Structure 1
Amino acid sequence: MTQAVGPTRAYRRLSVEERKSQLLDAALNLFAHRAPEEVSLDDVAEAAGVSRPLVYRYFPGGKQQLYEAALRTAADELEQCFAEPQDGPLTRRLGRALDRYLAFVDEHDTGFSALLQGGSVIETSRTTAIVDGVRRAAAEHILNHMELPEPPSPRLRMTVRMWITAVEAASLIWLDEDKQPPLDELRAWLVEQFVAHITATAGRDPQTAAMVRHALALETPEGAVGELVRRVLPVVAEAGHLL
């Protein structure tokens, strides 16, 4: 008597790129919540539902190669956070970019800290270059939003890169402070910090001053700059003898 056989799940062989993507997704999820040195290839294999030899087949360089590939994927995602249509006030564009950036920080908290603070046993010159590439790409995106008629001055470029460093530092402190203040407040404060940085540079650099005048013309009273002015003016007015 023939015994009935139940339905079996159809098996589909993954392509090389699909399999790599599967392994990278598993690795990124692990690196997001644990420091790199705490993640093993066995952990990645288990998370992806495959064998350890299969991980080695696609990443023969082992954990180092897998980590660098996962880091490159994360870096690509971070770089795209600052890709924003050149439409509307500059502060509004920055706000939307920061929303994406901070959402990434929130989702990849432990991994983000390990990425920026360094000190990992598998950190190399290549991983450092990947991280620095994100910073440079973010700076270029922001400078492009300024629509300058000529290459940015050293002071302006330095100001933008200083602000990006401040965003990174604030993100790490935010994680260390149990994700306080709320994300929307942190994002608004970082936009205001950008306005303060760029305005200070405008007092010393004619190119930045021209850019700031153009950017302010696009701002609205209810926007980030208007809100900042309303909060700061009373403080400055108390020191009227300096004006």
Structure 2
Amino acid sequence: MSSSGTAPAYRRLSVDERRSQLLATALGLFAHRPPEDVSLDDVAAAAGVSRPLVYRYFPGGKQQLYEAALRSAADELEQCFAEPHTGPLTTRLSRALDRYLEFVDEHDAGFNALLRGGSVVETSRTNAIVDEVRRAAADQILVHLGARRPGPRLRMAVRTWISAVEAASLIWLDEDKQPPLGELRDWLVDHFIALITVTAGSDEETAVLVRGALAMERADGPVGGLARRVLPVVGDAVHLL
């Protein structure tokens, strides 16, 4: 038989490579079908392996695989908000959002599986994984704001913005990834500036932190750009002052 008729050599994956492969395959299936409708046979077939091999890595069955897949996505998302505490706040926030939205773009199936919810396979552990991502992101932003002991209004504002980022990301996927990522990032930064400024109007703790953050911003940065865009819109409303 000629060499052209031989099958390609099989490469045995390492333990870590095989586990990563199974997790990625599971995330893709869980994202597009309800987890209860995905069997281990489905995961094995999609990964090109046997069912016993899947059990070897996840002896707890589909529930263990589901939780491990969510955990892998959550770990990556948590790292997106890790940012050096130097420079203007909006610059740091933009870099964090770039990483976050890049994850959404490159792992859209995993992001959907992590945040969509509504499955009977969900447990207190899976819900805790999702909540942990939200708490970690909020805590990182509060640290960047310099809030050592944030009060309820400030925490609510930051957590509200995290929810808005999640919702916008899911809508972006539903809208065939439009607008472009850069525009989505800039809009989310504007949203944060607006939300935190409105909160500062009725909360002195937030006002002190916002004043400190604004002092580090540049005229050609996101805050200056937002002010120049908004002022013409509200310029005719001086009668409200």
TM-score (norm 1): 0.88
CA distance in 1, matches of 2:32, 2:116: 15
Displacement of 1:236 in angstroms is 1.4
Instruction: Could you tell me which runs of 5 or more consecutive residues in structure 1 were left unpaired when the two chains were aligned.
Output: none
In the superposition, relative to structure 1, how do residues 42 and 192 fare at CA in structure 2: closer, same or farther (>3 Å)? Answer: same
| Structure 1 runs of 4+ with >6 Å offset | none
Q: CA deviation at 1:120?
A: 1.9
Equivalence for 2:207? 209
Question: Cα gap change, 1:117/1:30 in structure 2, threshold over 3 Å: closer, same or farther?
Answer: closer
Q: What's 1:107 paired with?
A: 106
Aligned-pair distance for 1:238?
Answer: 1.3
Counterpart in the other structure of 1:98: 97
Q: Identity, % of aligned pairs?
A: 73
Q: 1:107 corresponds to which letter in structure 2?
A: E
**181-190 vs 116-125, greater mean Cα deviation:** 116-125
Correspondent of 1:225 among 223, 226, 229: 223
Alignment of 1:29-108 (within 5 A): 29-32=28-31, 34-108=33-107
Match of 1:161 among 159, 168, 179: 159
Aligned counterparts of 1:172 and 1:13: Cα–Cα separation in 2: 33
Q: For residues 143-199 of structure 1, give each alpha carbon's deviation from its aligned partner in whole angstroms, at most 9, with x where no partner exists.
A: 111123x41111111110011011111112222222222111111001000000100
Q: Give the aligned length.
A: 239
Once the two structures are TM-superposed, the CA of residue 94 in structure 1 deviates from its matched residue by 0.9
SS at match of 1:238: helix
Tell me the equivalent position of 1:14: 14
State the 1:11 CA deviation.
6.1
Taking structure 2 as the reference length, the TM-score comes to: 0.88
- The question of whether the paired residues in 1 share the 8 Å contact of 2:70 and 2:113 is answered with no
- When structure 1 is superposed on structure 2, of 196-205 and 40-49 the one drifting more is 40-49
Q: Please point out which of 194, 208, 223 is paired with 1:196.
A: 194
Tell me, yes or no, if the aligned pair for 2:74 and 2:114 is still in contact at 8 Å: no
SS of alignment partner, residue 239 of structure 1 = helix
- Alignment check: 8 A CA contact 2:28 2:109 kept: no
